[in-house]
Each structure stands twice: as structure tokens, then as C-alpha cells.
Structure 1
Amino acid sequence: MTLHHPIARLGDLTRDEVADAAAHSVLVLPIGAVEQHGPHLPLRTDTLLAETVATAAVEACSGTVPAVLAPVMPYGNSEHHLFAGAASLRPATLAAVLGDLVRSLHTTGFQRFFLVNGHGGNDETVRLVSKSIVTELPVAVGTVNYWQAGSSAEPVPDGADVPGHAGWWETSLVLAVRPELVRTENAPSEPLGARGLYSYEPVPGLNVQMRGEWARSGGTTDPAAAADPGAGRRMLNERTAGVAEALTRFHELTREQQTR
């Protein structure tokens, strides 16, 4: 049976098309979050960018990697800054949801899963799920944080924190994808508060978390007024190329290990 879709989107396929595709395809699942992104970006920024990059990467690999793109998982772990609109899952809940999605889709016939994460707060949980589920099921799981994929030649303005949070980098990306969602008149030109301890390593390898740090910092890592949609498009293309490379390599490494 031929799939009549430029990209095989899980939610658009029939049950027969899914049955035909599952065994040889990689199930690609973007994962985002709903949380504050300063006074100028929408709460679904992480979800929007994860879905955008995952979709573009699947398109880029369409001739070489058989993939089925799942609907984006819009909620993630934002417990570390529960203010100003965060809709958060606890890490255990997020792990349970992701695990259940893999289990149910494996029952359908999928054996390979590629998780594209769009939110830093999800990172540890996504990787933990990937490690634990393969001890339970005969599956292969790849994970990638889209902002870490690929390399970038784009000049970074002084004071910008890349990738940061709701600063120059993320604002540039959203301007490139959905400019109408950016309240440019509200984009801060100065820091909104003291630099949060979460945003840097005081000494190499040291991570510090303290209650209330996100609210104290104003909820952003760096000013966003200089954000540029042209830079955003170039950086999105670089990250998409990186995720596409990761997806291709995952396919190559796992296609001989199906159905064990």
C-alpha cells in the first residue's frame, strides 16, 4: 500500500497505512512545553520550535529515512519555574506519558523511536525514558535536543545567551517561524532581573538550582530586542540539518536490529 502523504503523519494515516509502515519506519515524536517566555513570546514557544524542526528534519530525510511523524507532545516539565502560565507535568508523569506512548505504538508495530526535545527541562526525563524502555521492550530509541544539534556559523551579539530562554536566540527563531506571535514592542532591551544561577556554571561542571531563581531573574536569560528573523531562519536551518543528520544516523545504526 502506498502512503499518499508528502510526510507520513501519524494522525493523518489510516490504521492499514500505519500497519504497513510501522515495522520499517522510525516514529519521530517532537516534545515541547507550555511555559512563560518573557513578556513577548508565546507560552508554546518550545512546542512550536520542536515541531517546526522535527517536521523539517523529516522532510529533509524523506528520500532516505522511512519516518512517521507523530503529533507534538505539547506539555513538558516546567516545575523549576511555575509562574506566569506554566502548564507542567512532574518528571515522573512526563516519563509515564512518554513510556506509555512508546509502549502503545510498539504494540502497533513500531520498533524504532526518535524523540526530538524542544525544552531544557525535559532533557533528563527524556534520556531516562530512552534508557529504561529499551530494557523492557525490544525497541531502539534515539533522543536529540534540537538546540544542540548541528553547528552554527551565525554571529552572536554581545550579551546574548545561546540558546538561553526567551532571549535573542529563541526570539529570532520564533520571528522566523511565526512573526505574528512575537510582541516585539514588549521584547526587553535590558535584563529583567539578576542573572539566574540556572543559566551558567559558576565553575566548570557545577549546576546550581535554587527555589525562586526563575522569578527573581525575570524569566529570561538575556535581552531580546535585537532579535533578527534572518538570523533565526539561518539558525533554524542549521539546527534542522543537525537533527536530520542525527535521524539519518539513528536509522543507519538501528535498521539492522529491528525485531529482536
Structure 2
Amino acid sequence: MTHLLAHLSTAAVEAIDKTDAVVVQPIGAVEQHGAHLPLITDALTAERISDLAIRSLPADSNVWQLPTLAYGKSTEHLGRAGTVALSAATLMATCLDLGRSLAASGFRKLVFVNGHGGQPSLLDVVARDIRVETGLEVFPMMPGRFGLPEGITQVDEHYGIHGGQIETSIVWALAPELVRMDLAVRDGEAVGALYAGSRHLTLEGTVPTAWVTDDLSVSGVIGDATAANQEDGRRIVEHQTRCLAETLLEIRDFAFPELKG
């Protein structure tokens, strides 16, 4: 039986046991990732990692995957050819509508598997809005936050946030036909110097900066894509897949207590 919810009939969805069913909504972005990676990078990784994780679960796990929401809040990349971005308001309204629709079908648990680093804060906010309005338990998460498997060193750790070593390695493993390593570059190294004299300001940390790509990079890459390794990418994909699969089962078995009398 398929785990793809949209491949089922309405009668088949009606028959799903909603008491512990988990619905996974991959969310990505269509945005520039330098000359070597496809625009679909974030949506592709969210979709593929979700699919691999759910396929690895027992058939009766009751975890379902929705079609990927490919577009995201990518306004930081506007002006770079091919970037197609939603506003924050549009993305949040879309996610709220998704939650309303799932609640109307009787589902109780929704997971946003997000592949784009520019929108976690938005998904955190809308997740709570969905919870308040519909009662759904909502879990916004990013596979990249599971960290790296042992033995992989990120050479661009202090500035590699977009199209660099790790992201390139992952896409190289998932869709090698879409990667142009002959066009890979290292860019954005000046980020370190930019914050060298700051005690509290950071690129993304204690006091983050509302940057756009043109503030940090000429090529659109912020990281060292030349350090990417396809085998490292496979190991990272396996690690993220395993961690996501474990998380989905934890979500299935999770429930808030009834505290109100």
C-alpha cells in the first residue's frame, strides 16, 4: 500500500485510523543555489528524505506523505535568476489552510519537513497557530538539524549555510544528474571577518542579522561547494533518513496530556 496520501481515494482516506496517523508535509523552496546546484534543491531534499524515511518504516506505521510544497519564503534570493518566492504571509496562510484541511478530514498530527533554512521561524509560528485554531499537534522540523554522522568534517562550518559543502554533497547523493561539480565554487568566506569584531552579532545565532544573499556572496553560494563529496552525501542522507524515521514514530506515539478539567 502506498504511503502517498494524495494517491489514495477519498474512501481510503476516510478508512485511515486517525487516532495516531501522522501526515508529513515536505516544504522546500525554488531558489538559486549557485551555478552548480538546481533551483529545486530545498524541495528535492525535503521530499526525498521524507520519502526514504517513511519507506523505511513498517507498512503499518500509519505515516502518510503529502505532495511537496515546492515554493517557500525565499525573498532573500530575489533578483537571482530563477528564484520564485512566496511572501511570509502567503507561506503562513498556505500552511494554515493545509492544517485546516487535514483537521477537517479528521487527522490529528501534522509534520512540516522543511528543507529551506530561510523559513523555520515562520513555520514555528504557523505551527502554533494551527494548533490553537484546529487542535492539531504540529511538529515543524528540518532534517539538517540532526547534525552530521561521525567522521564527516564540515570545512566551511563557520559560513557554509547555502550551496556549500554539506548541501552540495546531499544533492550529489540524491540527484547526481542535477549537480555540476565543474561549476562548484567557494564563496562567502568574508562572513567570518564581517563578524570578527562583534561580541554578540552573528550571521545566524545569538543576535542574527537579517541578511540577503547579495550582502554575503557574489556567486550566490555561501560555503565551499568544492569540498563536497558524494559518498559523504550518501552517509548524511542515511543519517537524516534514520533520524527522521525515528522521529516520525515518536510523533505517532506522542500525545499532550489532558490537563484541563
- Unaligned 5+ segments in structure 2 are 196-200
1:226: how far off?
A: 2.6
Choose from 90, 95, 111 the match for 1:93.
Answer: 90
SS of corresponding position for 1:95:
helix
Aligned to 1:149: 146
Aligned to 1:221: 222
Please tell me whether the aligned partners of residues 49 and 174 of structure 1 are also in contact (alpha carbons under 8 angstroms). yes
Please tell me whether the aligned partners of residues 33 and 78 of structure 1 are also in contact (alpha carbons under 8 angstroms). yes
1:55: how far off?
A: 0.9
How far, CA to CA, are the matches of 2:147 and 2:156 in structure 1? 22
Aligned to 2:118: 121
1:97: how far off?
A: 0.3
How far, CA to CA, are the matches of 1:38 and 1:30 in structure 2? 23
Please tell me whether the aligned partners of residues 173 and 233 of structure 1 are also in contact (alpha carbons under 8 angstroms). yes
Count of residues in Structure 1 that have an aligned counterpart in Structure 2: 250
Aligned to 1:170: 167
Give CA-to-partner distance per residue, 1:199-255, whole Å, 9 cap, x none. x92696120124564564432111212311110000111111121222111111139
Aligned to 2:198: none
Choose from 5, 8, 15 the match for 1:10.
Answer: 5
How far, CA to CA, are the matches of 2:172 and 2:51 in structure 1? 18
Please tell me whether the aligned partners of residues 33 and 39 of structure 2 are also in contact (alpha carbons under 8 angstroms). yes
Q: Quick one: which amino acid aligns to residue 245 of structure 2?
A: A
Aligned to 1:186: 183
How far, CA to CA, are the matches of 1:215 and 1:187 in structure 2? 17
SS of corresponding position for 2:55:
helix
SS of corresponding position for 2:39:
coil
State the percentage of identical aligned residues: 33
1:244 and 2:241 equivalent? Answer: no
TM-score for the superposition, normalised by structure 1 = 0.87
Aligned to 1:74: 70
Aligned to 1:83: 79
Please tell me the root mean square deviation across aligned C-alpha atoms, in Å. 2.5
How far, CA to CA, are the matches of 1:238 and 1:177 in structure 2? 13
How far, CA to CA, are the matches of 2:71 and 2:143 in structure 1? 16
SS of corresponding position for 1:254:
coil
- Larger mean Cα displacement after TM superposition, 126-135 or 147-156: 147-156
Aligned to 1:45: 41
- Unaligned 5+ segments in structure 1 are none
How far, CA to CA, are the matches of 1:114 and 1:154 in structure 2? 30
1:168: how far off?
A: 0.9
TM-score for the superposition, normalised by structure 2 = 0.86
How far, CA to CA, are the matches of 1:215 and 1:161 in structure 2? 13
Please tell me whether the aligned partners of residues 34 and 88 of structure 1 are also in contact (alpha carbons under 8 angstroms). yes
1:35 and 2:31 equivalent? Answer: yes
SS of corresponding position for 1:106:
helix
1:183: how far off?
A: 1.1
